[in-house]
Chains A and B, each alone.
Chain A
Amino acid sequence: MIKLQDVYKEYTIGDSLLEILQNINLEIKKGEFISIIGPSGSGKSTLMYMMGLLDIPTKGKVLMNDVDTSKLSDEKLSRLRNEKIGFVFQQFNLINKFTVLENILLPTLYNPHTLDYDPQIKAITLLKRFGLDHRTHSYPNKISGGEQQRAAIARALILEPEIIFADEPTGNLDTKTGETILSLLEDLNKKEKITIVIVTHEAHIAEKTKRSISIQDGKIIK
C-alpha cells in the first residue's frame, strides 16, 4: 500500500542541518494494523505526514500503490489524501465554527466525484455507530474529548479511505476513553479491512498492534 525508499527529511536552520529522518525504508501492506513507536521528538509525526502525502521528503521516494508520489502535482496529491487517506490527530483538529456533522462532511466538499452513496446518510450512520447522534448539530468545543475524537474518526471514514493515520490518537484522552478509541480503530481494521497506522510513544498502545516499528533520532531501529 505504502512504501518508503531511502527517505530523508532535513531542515536547515541558520547554518546547521537538522536531519529529522534518515534512511527510512519501510513498507505498509494493505490491511495491516501497525504502530510506529518512539520517544517524543524522534520524528514519528514527520514520518507519518510523509506517508500521508502531506509532506514531501528531502531525498528518497514515497510510493503509494506502486505510484511514485514525488512526481505528482498538488492537485493529484490532494486528491489522494481526499479519497484514500484519513487522518486522526492528537488534538482532534475539528473546525470549531462548524457543527459535528459539517466537520464530518468536510472532505466531501473537496471530492469532485459523484459517490455511489449519499454522504449525508453515511455521516448520520457513522454518528449513530459511534454513539454521537445527540451531538450531530453540536459544535466541537462544546463536547467531550472522546466525542471529538470519535467525530474525527467519522470524518476520516466519510470517503471510505484505504488507510487511516492516527497520530497519538489517545494522547489527549483519559485511559478509559483512550481504550475505546483504540478498540474502535481495531474494529475498523478487522471488519472493514482498512489499513491503520497508529503513531504513539506509549509501549502499551504499540503492544495492541500486530506489527510495530521503533524509531529513534530519525532512524528505524527495529
Chain B
Amino acid sequence: MKILVAIKRVVDYNVRVQVKPDGSGVATDGVKMSINPFDEIAIEEALRIKEQGKADEVVVVTIGSNDSQQQLRTAMAMGADRAILVESDQAVQPLQAAQVLLKVIEQEQPGLVITGKQAIDDDNNQTPQMLATLWNRPQATFASKVEFTGDNQLQVTREVDAGLETIQVELPAVVSTDLRLNEPRFVKLPDIMKAKRKPLDVKAIGDVLPNAEGVAIEVLQHESPQPRQKGIMVESVDELIDILKDKGLVS
C-alpha cells in the first residue's frame, strides 16, 4: 500500500506574526518557515505505518511556491520516499487544494491519505474533509490514534469536544491528524544528505489542474486583534480575593 501525505509550508509556530501596517497581509519576509506542525505529525504517522510493514511507500506532496522544496526535503529526511511539488505562485484555497490533491490521488492511487487537520497560517480546517468528499471516500478527522483492524479497515480515535470518539472507516480514506497522534522524530544530518538524492517531482499547477472549479473567497483586509487592556499585579491572595469579590466573580 502507498500512503500519500499532504503538507504545507507555513510560518513556524514559534513566530509571533505581525500584520503589515497597510493591512495588506502579515509580514513574512525573513521569517522562519517550517512544515505545518500537524503535517509533520502526518508524515510521522505514515512512516510508522510503513515501519510496521503495513505500507511500502510514503509519498509527500505539497502545493506552493518553489521554496516549498525545502519542506519536501525535510519530509524526505524524516523518511518519506519521494516528493511531489505542485508549484503555484499564488496561495490556493481549500477547495482548489482538494481538487489538485484529487488529481495527484488519481495518478498515485494511494491506499491512505494523511494530512494535518489544519494549517496554522489560515486555520481553515477544510482541505482534508473536502478532499474526502471529492474523492467520495471516508474521512477520519482530528485523529489521535490510528489502528489497522482487519482487511482494509482502519479504526480511528478522534479528539472531539466531548472526549474521544472512535470510528471505523474502510480504506482508501483520508485521515487528518491532531497533535496527540504521535511525536515526530528529529532528522539527523546523514538523513538530510540522503534526502538530497531522493526524487522530487515538480509540476505546474496549471498542468495538474487545468480547470479549477469554484471561486476564491476575497480577502479585503488584515488587521491586528484588539489588544486586551493592561492588567494589574497583586501581592497577596487577600488582594486577589478582594478584586474578585468587587467584580462579583466570587462570593
* Mutual binders A and B: no
Task: Please report B residues at the A interface, Cβ cutoff 8 Å.
Answer: none
Task: Please report A residues at the B interface, Cβ cutoff 8 Å.
Answer: none
